[in-house]
Every structure is written in structure tokens, then in C-alpha cells.
Structure 1
Amino acid sequence: MTPTAFVVGKLADRYGYRQFIIAGCVTAFTAMLTAAFSTELWQFFMTQGILQGLCIGLILPVAMAFPSQWFRKKRGLATGIVIAGSSFGGGAGSLIAQQMLGRIGLRYTLIFFAFYHLFLMTCAVFMLKNRPHPLSACYTKTKIVWFDTALFRKPIFWSVALAVFFTVFGYLPPYFYIQLYTMDKLPNLSPSLYVVPAAVMNFSAAAGRTAIGSLADRIGVVNAFFGAVLFSGLMQLLLWNFANSFATIIVFSILVGFSGAAFLSMTSVIGGKLFGVKNLATLSGILMMFNMPGNAAGSPLVGAIFSGSGGNWHAAISFSGLSAVIGAFIILYARFKKEPRIFAIY
């Protein structure tokens, strides 16, 4: 996903966004359909690892940058609504898949999802329209600069990039481990309820990305990023660490889903705020490179901490929560470098 997103970001600013969305949709359909007929582990690595990664790399940096082409005043809200689709789809999909797997099995569940996604993606493609920035490479046809050394020399860029880097380590673990945590803490719970916290977290993330995107338009996107990421980290440290009942787990799922997922939709908006919308897909692709360590190693590292500590959830959760808190505070350099007033909208 990540290296593909970097390349796609560069090419999309030159050739337009829509065709890369179409290529990603075709790849997504192919990945799901071929997974339905996979029987060996390596085949699932190919279909749901490599192909699905290519699909996300083709779509995500473009989808993150698309709303900024059309919106300025309500850019945070528009981007939040767009990215919320992934959370809503994840929540609904997990509930639907759980029921279908028990009734029709893995193969036919995957075939259903392949064509279900194809229908939705086809509808989405017809709703897209490019609107390149007048100074973008798409208009000027300047030579593609794969590594903008001037950007890398800006301390503000590194403030944003490192904030994203640390935040991802604390963003994904709740989604990966909340079901296992619930099973461990509440072994006598009905099996049908184990999937509920993850679904609730996804639905709450959809609402949070939209609501916090709207809030970002009012208080400033960097301020919103700091508040949302800090809150999600503190919820892990202060609530998840001590969640021993199903009600508390659900409350945590709602709060961390609402706040934690918003950073992804705000990343491209922060890029537009700090660096302008010219070549925004390129910037989104570059910032996704800083997602890669957390995406690839964040959740496995939390699992390793859990196993290495003899099944100590406090150690694993504290690592995840502290990562988000660190990411929140790192963004403050860019915030106060651009706008030193504490209560300013920025």
C-alpha cells in the first residue's frame, strides 16, 4: 500500500485523480474475487496482501486529496465525510460477514462481497470529477520531482510527518485487539457479542471523522488533530487499561473510535493548510510513507509486548496509548511555528 501510494500521489497530480480510483476499484474487485478461490496460505498473501495493498495504495492518497480540490471553507467536513465511508463500511461489513460466514461459508461470502463492492465502486466512479489546481503538474506539465528535497528541509514538514508516524502506532491496535481483549476479560459472554465492540468502534469512527472534520473547520485543523489524537491516547491509557465490563468496553470503543480515526482524514487537510493544495496528492502519498511503520509493525508489536509480558494487557495498551499521546504533542511544533497564539484558530 505505502510505496504504491507514494508513486500514485506523484502521478495523480500529473495525470488526474479519477483514473487511479478506477484502477484501484478494478484491483479491489480482483483481489476479493480471487481470494474466494484461494486454498493455500500463500494465495491469501497474494490476494489479500499484495493485491489488496495495491488497491488501497491506488485509492487512498487520491481519495484523501479529492475533497480539497472542491472545498476550502468546509474542507475538513468534506474530507471527514469521504473518509468516514471506510469506517462505516468496516462496521457494517464485519456484522454482515459474521452472519454470512456461518450460513454460506467463506467462498460464497467473499464472492458476495466482491460483487457488492463492485456495484458500490461503480456508482462511486461516476460521481467523481477532476478539478486540478491551476499550478499543479497536471496543468503545467513540469517534470515530476520524485523527492522534493526542499520539502524535507522544512522543520514543519517533519513535525507533521513524525506526528503521523507515532500516531499510527496508537491508532490501529484497538481495532485489532478489542475483540481478543473482550474474549479474554469476558470469557462467558455470548460469542455473537464479541464482534460488537469492533463494529461499534467502526461506526463511531465514521461519525467522528465527520464531526471532527466539521469541528476542524471551526477551531482549526491542527488544533482538531491535536485534541482528537491526544484524547484517543488518553482513552487507551485511562479507560481501556481498566475496562473489565462489557459496558465499559463499549464506552471505550465509542470514544476511541470517535476520536482516534479522525487523524487520517485530517492529514491531507493539514497538508493543504500548511503547504497549499498544489500537488496535494503527492504530499498525501509522502505522508502515507510515514504511516508504513505503524501500519506494518504497530499491531504486531503490541501483540509481541502482550506475549512477551506474559499476557499483560496493561503493557500492550500503555504502549499504544503513549504512542498516540507522543504523536499529538509532536504536531504542536508546526502549530506554534505557524501560529504562536495559544487560542488562535489554526
Structure 2
Amino acid sequence: MVTMPMAFVVGKFADRYGYRQFIIAGCLTAFLAMLTAAFSTQLWQFFLTQGVLQGACIGLILPVAMSFPAQWFRCRRGLATGIVIAGSSFGGGAGSLMAQQLLNRLGLRYTLIFYSFYHLFLMTLAVFMLQDRPHPHSARFTKAPIQWWDSTLFRKPLFWSVAIATLFVVFGYLPPYFYIQLYTMEKLPDLNPALYAVPAAVMNFSAAAGRTAIGLLADRIGVVNAFFVSVLISGCMQLLFWNFATSFPAIICFSILVGFFGAAFLSMTSVIGAKLFGVQNLATLSGILLLFNMPGNAAGSPLAGAIFSASGGNWHAAITFSGMCSVVGAFCILYARFKMEPRVFAIY
């Protein structure tokens, strides 16, 4: 609930004052959130550190990180953005495996302290690699006042096609990550406990590969086409594969496929924005589109869990809800696709 409104505000300020300082602010906030969580002992303290502070960190970084590659790349924009966003998936996969081992050996407090300084080191390296390249007609050069509400954008059906697509996709994107471990534990109660975390880690590593590979595919077949195909396959994988995966190899195979195809939409959102609306105020547009992620981020997984509970522990109901959200999101983008390029097999 903190991340998306902040991403909207940060997008506006970043287009006006520059990207790099918001990345630095986000990195410092992330370090502070992790370090203070290490010394938290009550629920409200964890709420502030890992809820408010961590949400603020993501809100500071995400719209800028999504927009940075578009400043430097045009022909290979999808690949570049995919590689950048893939880092979050790779870090999530490696982090989940590392955290499990560190928690067993060090406990929660010292694991969080280790992570704080480990992240600070990596983030410091990342900051020194960043360089701004603003568009000549951006608000930074024109010195135009910040326009908080662009009513013309919200009157464009093209915008709503993209916005509603991202809204539905997030509802179908998160449940596999949240529930694959619980699903594995219920379906395979005799499995070695050390293996329960493997599907989620595999899903994250596969997402890193998928964001890069589908970013490359987007440069070849068109970013809107790639968005539609990857999201549709992700939804179908949930409906037709996860619904019937009852063995460990099947669950791992599903994790690879849904991670590969399902996570790519996030890296393509800003590329679609640049394709349809230009790069002059891309951080602003990325921040606005991230607002449409907020309902899915806040309620997608809880809603799937509520459906699971209300159906008496029926996994098919929760999985079908998640998969159908992805399928609906995929078809919502087709208005923008055929509005801009009516030919079925065109690159767009």
C-alpha cells in the first residue's frame, strides 16, 4: 500500500529532477529498513520496518529502475529492460536459499544484520554504475512545472487497455510465488523439509531467465505481442498444469514455466509505455501504471487464499482464479495492440 502511491510521486519528481538521487535514497531506505528490523521485537515494529520502510524503498527505486534502460536503448530496449528487472528475480531466488541456511545457523537477528550490510555493499556498487541520460524534451530541460494530474492521458482508451491489463495480470502473477511452498507441503507431506523452499527459488531463478529471454523476444516480435504471449502462457500454465501437478518433478516443472513466462510482464510495462507514449516522461508513466498494480499486490494473494479457505481447502478454485486473471489481463492488452497495428502478424 506504500509502494505504489510513492512510485507515482517519485515518477513525477524523477522526470523533473533526475533519476539517480532517487535510487540512492531508495538504497539507503532499504538498508535502514533491514537493519532496524533486526532489532525489532514486536509486531508493530516489523510493520514499520518491513512494511512502511521497505515499501518506501521499493517505491523510490522501482519506477526509476524500470525507466532507466529506456534512456539508453531503443532498438534493444526490451532486452535491456528485461536484464535489469531480471536482477530482482535472481536476487529473490538466491536470497531465499541463503536466508534459509543463515536462519538455521545464525537466527533471525544476525541474518538480518548480515543482509543489511550485504545489500549495502551491492547497492553501493550499483549506484556507481548508474548514469542519467534524460530526453532533450523532458521536464528536466524544459523546466516545466510538475503536472500531477494529466487528464488527457486518462481519456485515452489506449492507456486504459494497458492499465487494466496490468491490473488483472498482477492478480494472477503473485499467487504462485506465495502458495507454491504450501501447495508442495500439502501434496507431498513426506518430502524432505529442506526441499519445500526449492520450487519458490526455482521460480525466481526462472523468472530472471524469462525476463531476459522474453525481453529479447520482444525486440524481435514486438513488445505488445510478447506481453500478450507470455502472460497468456503463464495463465494457461496455472489452469492446465498447476491444477494437476501432484509430484515433485511436476511442481518443479511448473515452477520453471510459470516463473519464465509469468514474471516478464513487469519488465515490459515500461517498454510498452515508451512504445505507445514516448520516453519524455517515462518515469511518470511507469509510476502511474504501477498504481494499477496496487490492488493486485495488496489483495491478489489474500484473495486467492480466501478462495482456498472458502472452498474448504480446494486448490483448484484458488488456482483457477489466479490463472483466469492472467488470461483476462492478456486479452485486455489486445485493444492497444490492434488499435496501433491492426495486422494480425505484424511486429508490434
- Shorter-chain TM-score: which interval? over 0.9
Which of 227, 233, 237 aligns to 1:231? It is 233
Aligned to 2:21: 19
Please name the residue that 2:317 is paired with: 315
Structure 1 residues 241-290: Cα deviation after superposition (integer angstroms, max 9, x where no partner): 00000000000000000000000000000000000001000000000000
Shift of 1:143: 1.1
Report the equivalent of 1:281: 283
* Residue aligning to 1:110: 112
For 1:270, the equivalent position in structure 2 comes to 272
Q: Secondary structure, in 3 states, of the residue corresponding to 2:137?
A: coil
- Deviation of the 1:147 alpha carbon: 1.0
Provide the rounded CA distance (Å) in 1 between the counterparts of 2:334 and 2:199. 32
Residue type at the aligned position of 1:342: V
Question: Distance between the aligned counterparts of 1:120 and 1:140, measured in 2?
Answer: 35
Matches of 2:134 and 2:316 in 1, distance apart? Answer: 48
Match of 1:296 among 290, 295, 298: 298
State the 4+ residue runs in structure 1 displaced beyond 2 angstroms: none
Task: Give the alignment's TM-score, normalised by structure 2.
Answer: 0.99
**TM-score (norm: length of structure 1):** 1.00
Q: Output the aligned Cα RMSD.
A: 0.3
Identify the match of residue 101 of structure 1 among 100, 103, 106: 103
Corresponding residue to 2:127 among 111, 125, 150: 125
Cα separation, 1, equivalents of 2:233 and 2:140: 39
Look up the SS of the partner of 1:204 in the other structure.
helix
Q: Which residue matches 2:82?
A: 80
- Which amino acid in structure 1 is aligned with residue 218 of structure 2? A
In 2, Cα distance between equivalents of 1:5 and 1:101: 32
Q: 1:182 aligns with which of 184, 187, 192?
A: 184
Could you tell me how far apart the structure 2 residues matched to 1:132 and 1:139 are? 8
Q: Which amino acid aligns with 1:292?
A: M
1:122-143 per-residue CA deviation (whole Å, 9 max, x = no partner) reads 0000000011101110110101
**CA deviation after TM superposition for structure 1 residue 173, in Å:** 0.4
> Which position in structure 2 is the counterpart of 1:35?
37
- For residues 145 and 98 of structure 2, what CA distance do their matches in structure 1 show? 47
Unmatched 5+ residue regions in structure 1? none
| 1:29 shift after superposition | 0.1
Instruction: Find the aligned partners of 2:182 and 2:8 in 1 and give their Cα distance.
Output: 33
**Aligned with residue 54 of structure 1, among 53, 56, 61:** 56
What amino acid maps onto 1:232 in structure 2? S
- Distance apart, 1:206 and its partner CA: 0.1
The aligned counterpart of 2:139 is 137
1:191-202 to structure 2, matched below 5 A, reads 191-202=193-204
Residue 213 of structure 1 corresponds to 215
| Cα displacement (A) at 1:310 | 0.5
Shift of 1:60: 0.2
Which letter does structure 2 place at the counterpart of 1:302? Answer: A
Counterparts of 2:195 and 2:102, CA distance in 1: 16
CA–CA separation in structure 2 for the residues paired with 1:115 and 1:304: 37
Aligned sequence identity (%): 81
Residues matched between the structures, number: 346
Post-superposition Cα deviations, 1:52-81, rounded to whole Å, max 9, x if no partner, equal: 000000000000000000000000000000
Which residue in the other structure is 2:168 paired with? 166
Corresponding residue of 2:224: 222
Amino acid at match of 1:255: L
Instruction: Tell me the residue number matched to 2:69.
Output: 67
